[in-house]
């Protein structure tokens, strides 16, 4: 884990996230969102969780970002540029950030350095998924099926 | 486990080995969470409220992975598992949320959340 990589990824991720949160043009913001999630996946790689980083790229950059772009294009007749920006949200976000920063800097226990560990293999993850985490895995399967059916029901044309 | 002492000024500095400490990951994830909160609170477009929620979920994921990496490593990698499940739930949430945006758009012809006021008392 090198600090140069860390700061590079941190700057790219936070800048892209800020762009996604503030850019007035919707499609630009959606693409910055995809970049921000590539940055989050890079953090996972940096922390030694390569499998989670790959899942993040597949799910967010591959699926969710495309879904968001499609939704923007399908709802295009609406205003392309949005009006009105709620500045009280900025104040609340800054207050929450100040609180979190104070808590993190105040806690001495979180200023630990990484110890070298054995790399986590996909085999270990698969074994954990099939033994300790088999019930959560089944629940996630049911949840995803229900979400798929629910999404289809929501967007189906109503018969009149 | 090596601990980096906090300097008197309160700002985190890198230790001699130039390895980022857990604190820096927590600060980045707190910043990402607050950017997501900003997007969810101050944008007027329904899709961007969803994007903000996704960012907050990703910030939580970074925290889980960081605590797993820096903490004692248990035999089943709990932090990694929680993050994988959180990503799956976030994907389901995004699919249903975007379907809701489409359904509401069909009724109101807008995605501005200020104009979804039919249920307002």
Please give the DSSP secondary-structure letter assigned to residue A77: T
pLDDT digits (tens, 9 = 90+) for B65-121: 988 888 877 767 888 999 999 999 999 999 999 998 888 888 877 777 777 777 776
In a domain? residue B98: yes
In a domain? residue B68: yes
Question: How many structural domains are present in chain B?
Answer: 1
The complex's ipTM?
Answer: 0.88
Question: How many other CB atoms sit within 10 Å of the CB of residue A130?
Answer: 10
In a domain? residue B8: no
Residues of chain A positioned with their CB less than 8 A from the CB of B66 = 47
pLDDT digits (tens, 9 = 90+) for A17-71: 999 888 888 888 889 999 999 999 999 998 888 899 999 999 988 889 998 998 8
In a domain? residue B9: no
Q: If we measure between CA atoms, which residue out of B25, B12, B28, B4 comes closest to residue A113?
A: B4
Q: Which CATH number do you get for residue B26?
A: 1.10.287.3510
Ordered by start, the domain boundaries in chain A are 1-80, 121-160
- Token look-up 């033994």 returns A131
CATH topology of domain A1-80: 1.20.120
- Token look-up 């350095």 returns A113
Selected residues 78-97 of chain A with any CB under 8 Å from a CB in chain B: 78-79, 82-90, 92-94, 96-97
Residues of chain A positioned with their CB less than 8 A from the CB of B101 = 71, 75
Q: If we measure between CA atoms, which residue out of A33, A16, A18, A71 comes closest to residue B46?
A: A71
In a domain? residue B81: yes
In a domain? residue B12: no
Q: Given CB atoms, is A14 within the 8 Å cutoff of chain B?
A: yes
> The domain containing residue B32 runs over which residues?
22-109
CB contact under 8 A, A1 and B17: no
Axis crossing angle, helix A134-155 with helix A122-130, rounded to the nearest 10: 90
CB contact under 8 A, A112 and B70: yes
Compute the nearest-CA separation of A8 from chain B (Å): 12
């Amino acid at each position: 884990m090198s600090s140069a990589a860390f700061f590079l990824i941190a700057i790219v991720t936070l800048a892209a996230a800020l762009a996604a949160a503030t850019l007035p043009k919707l499609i630009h913001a959606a693409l910055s969102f995809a970049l921000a999630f590539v940055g989050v996946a890079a953090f996972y790689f940096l922390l030694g969780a390569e499998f989670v980083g790959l899942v993040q790229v597949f799910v967010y950059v591959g699926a969710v970002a495309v879904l968001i772009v499609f939704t923007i294009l399908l709802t295009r007749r609406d205003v392309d540029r949005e009006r009105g920006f709620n500045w009280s949200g900025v104040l609340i976000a800054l207050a929450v950030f100040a609180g979190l920063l104070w808590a993190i800097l105040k806690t001495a226990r979180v200023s630990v350095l990484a110890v070298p560990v054995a790399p986590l293999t996909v085999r270990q993850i698969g074994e954990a998924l099939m033994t300790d985490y088999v019930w959560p895995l089944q629940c996630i399967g049911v949840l995803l099926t229900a979400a798929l059916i629910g999404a289809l029901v929501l967007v189906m044309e109503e018969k009149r | 486990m090596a601990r980096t002492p906090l300097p008197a000024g309160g700002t985190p500095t890198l230790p001699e080995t130039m390895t980022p400490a857990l604190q820096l990951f927590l600060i980045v994830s707190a910043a990402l969470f607050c950017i997501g909160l900003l997007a969810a609170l101050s944008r007027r477009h329904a899709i961007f409220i969803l994007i903000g929620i996704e960012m907050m979920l990703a910030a939580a994921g970074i925290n889980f992975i960081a605590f797993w990496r820096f903490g004692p490593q248990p035999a089943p990698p709990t932090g990694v598992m929680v993050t994988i499940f959180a990503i799956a739930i976030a994907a389901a949430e995004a699919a249903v949320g975007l379907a809701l945006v489409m359904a509401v758009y069909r009724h109101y012809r807008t995605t501005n959340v200020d104009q979804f006021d039919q249920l307002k008392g």
